């Protein structure tokens, strides 16, 4: 006779296995170049998503009925070096992870049903849903992660699937170029998170969140580390969250991600994926109690992002970019709410995140038909619909208003700054090393050194050896 604990563990494993089965089934079949028909693919997705959602709801109901606030599922120690390194595959169900997982299943299921019609007879129909399954698995793994390594694994799945979906239309140069931009920003975010994982292991010898954040349940955990250690780990995680959630100065990738199909824009960059950085900050929120400086940084970053996104969104000319910046404005406010944990309970940003994700999904899916409705309405009345006057037109004068308009139109000049100060030095260093290697190989082979050591790059012609 299974006990309630065993039943809860089984349901928890089912939450994880449902998206994994989707990925394996659709991915393996696609490898043999014999994908399922559109109808079969749609039914498989509906069944897999429904099973995962029902299992997650059953876990939530069981936790409420049995009074369980924390349910760990450990799948064994994979690496154990006493005093040096310890890696275990662990998933946790608590008041933070379970609502986020349910949100991921609900929105992904909604997008899956919409996509089956939106992408009807599209050449990349099965490719889209393979990446969709990878994204859903990554979201589930990240949300339920009980160790830093498990979280990083899901984090990478989400980043890879998101970047590939930005470049879904492979024949066009725009989506491929913007997908590379998104992937580059994600690389910075991943590097910051990986450094945070290394620091966690250096402090405790393992990446288990229980050891770092205390044995209590969220949101009442208390990190048992010093203020300096909390500031170091928190700053790295804040940089990772900034890259994944498009906080400044990495906000430029969000409108570029709109190059993907509307379903991916809705669930990945407008609703779920853009909140992944927020989820990371909520998971590591006990670090804020150890470092007031970190709390101030979180508040400043959140409010700055919200203000910038409002300016940039006010001058957008297409509906998807305007919605993406509107979404970013709310994400910035949610981040600021997390930083104000002393005055605002952490359940407030959690509820704010869940409600905002549902709203943005509805708006993104409604966007194409909304434009058609507006056009019909304007044709019926024979005039354009009235434009609302923004507060800036009442406050700012002519030159100041023009400056604000230019600032929003240029997206805060963050893209240019990242290229000048972030990308170009690495490009120069790479070409300098390449020049050294060529000269060394020419010397070893006895060939004369070539003087034409100038290489054309996307940023201009650069000397290989300066």
CA–CA separation, 147 and 142 (whole Å): 10
Q: Are residues 443 and 367 located together in one domain of the fold?
A: no
80 DSSP β-pair partners = 86
Q: Are residues 351 and 424 located together in one domain of the fold?
A: no
Q: Are residues 357 and 417 located together in one domain of the fold?
A: no
CA–CA separation, 135 and 142 (whole Å): 10
From 338, 371, 404, give the residue that closes a domain. Answer: 371
Report the number of distinct structural domains present in the chain.
2
In angstroms, the first-to-last Cα distance of the chain is 75
Q: Does the N-terminal peptide bond of residue 219 adopt cis geometry, omega within 30 degrees of 0? A: yes
Q: Are residues 361 and 450 located together in one domain of the fold?
A: no
Which residues fall within 8 angstroms of residue 157, CB to CB, at 6 or more apart? 134, 135, 137, 138, 141, 142
Q: Are residues 426 and 345 located together in one domain of the fold?
A: no
Q: Are residues 148 and 41 located together in one domain of the fold?
A: yes
Residue 133 near residue 266 (C-beta atoms within 8 A): no
Range of the domain at 459: 413-463
CA–CA separation, 198 and 212 (whole Å): 13
Q: Say how far residue 239 (Cα) sits from the centre of its chain.
A: 13
Instruction: With respect to residue 403, please indicate whether it lies within any of the assigned structural domains.
Output: no
* Structure confidence by residue, pLDDT tens digits, 313-323: 888 777 777 88
* Structure confidence by residue, pLDDT tens digits, 389-432: 666 566 666 676 676 767 776 666 677 667 666 667 777 888 88
CA–CA separation, 19 and 238 (whole Å): 28
Structure tokens at 34: 């014999």
Structure tokens at 406: 């230019």
SS3 content of the chain, % helix, strand, coil (to 5): 75, 5, 20
Give me the count of residues in the chain. Answer: 466
Q: Are residues 9 and 68 located together in one domain of the fold?
A: yes
From 340, 371, 402, give the residue that closes a domain. Answer: 371
pLDDT at 87 over 90: no
What's the pTM value of the predicted model, to 2 decimals? 0.83
Phi-psi domain of 205 (left: phi exceeds 0; alpha: psi -120 through 50; beta: other): left
Higher pLDDT, 395 or 109: 109
């Amino acid at each position: 006779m299974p006990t309630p604990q065993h039943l809860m563990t089984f349901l928890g494993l089912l939450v994880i296995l449902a998206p994994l089965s989707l990925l394996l089934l659709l991915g393996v079949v696609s490898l043999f170049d014999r994908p399922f028909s559109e109808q079969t693919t749609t039914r498989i997705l509906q069944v897999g998503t429904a099973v995962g959602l029902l299992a997650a709801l059953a876990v939530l109901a069981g936790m409420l009925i049995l009074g369980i606030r924390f349910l760990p599922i450990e799948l064994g120690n994979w690496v154990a070096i006493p005093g040096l390194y310890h890696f275990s595959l662990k998933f946790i169900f608590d008041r933070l992870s379970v609502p986020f997982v349910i949100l991921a299943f609900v929105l992904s299921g909604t997008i899956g049903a919409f996509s089956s019609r939106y992408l009807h007879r599209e050449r990349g129909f099965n490719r889209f849903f393979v990446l969709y399954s990878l994204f859903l698995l990554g979201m589930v793994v990240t949300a339920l992660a009980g160790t830093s390594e498990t979280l990083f694994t899901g984090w990478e799945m989400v980043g890879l699937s998101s970047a590939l979906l930005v470049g879904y239309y492979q024949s066009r140069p725009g989506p491929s170029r913007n997908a590379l931009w998104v992937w580059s920003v994600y690389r910075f975010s991943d590097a910051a998170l990986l450094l945070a994982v290394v620091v966690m292991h250096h402090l405790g010898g393992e990446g288990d969140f229980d050891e770092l954040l205390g044995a209590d349940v969220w949101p009442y955990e208390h990190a048992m580390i010093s203020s300096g250690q909390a500031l170091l780990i928190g700053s790295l995680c804040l940089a990772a969250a900034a890259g994944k959630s498009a906080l400044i100065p990495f906000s430029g990738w969000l409108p570029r991600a709109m190059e993907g199909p509307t379903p991916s824009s809705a669930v990945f960059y407008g609703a779920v994926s853009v909140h992944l950085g927020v989820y990371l900050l909520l998971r590591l929120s006990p670090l804020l109690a150890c470092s007031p400086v970190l709390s101030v940084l979180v508040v400043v970053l959140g409010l700055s992002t919200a203000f910038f996104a409002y300016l940039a969104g006010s001058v957008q000319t297409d509906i998807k970019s305007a919605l993406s910046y509107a979404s970013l404005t709310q994400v910035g406010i949610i981040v600021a709410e997390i930083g104000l944990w002393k005055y605002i309970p952490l359940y407030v940003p959690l509820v704010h995140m869940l409600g905002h994700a549902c709203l943005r999904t509805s708006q993104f899916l409604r966007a194409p038909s909304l434009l058609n409705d507006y056009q019909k309405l304007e044709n019926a009345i024979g005039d354009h619909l009235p434009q609302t006057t923004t507060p800036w037109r009442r406050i700012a004068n002519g030159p100041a208003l023009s400056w604000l308009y230019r600032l929003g139109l240029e997206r805060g000049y963050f893209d240019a700054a990242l290229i000048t100060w972030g990308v170009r030095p690495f490009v120069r260093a790479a070409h300098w090393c390449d020049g050294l290697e060529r000269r060394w190989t020419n010397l070893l082979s006895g060939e004369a050194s070539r003087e034409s050591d100038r290489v054309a790059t996307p940023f201009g012609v650069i000397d290989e050896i300066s």
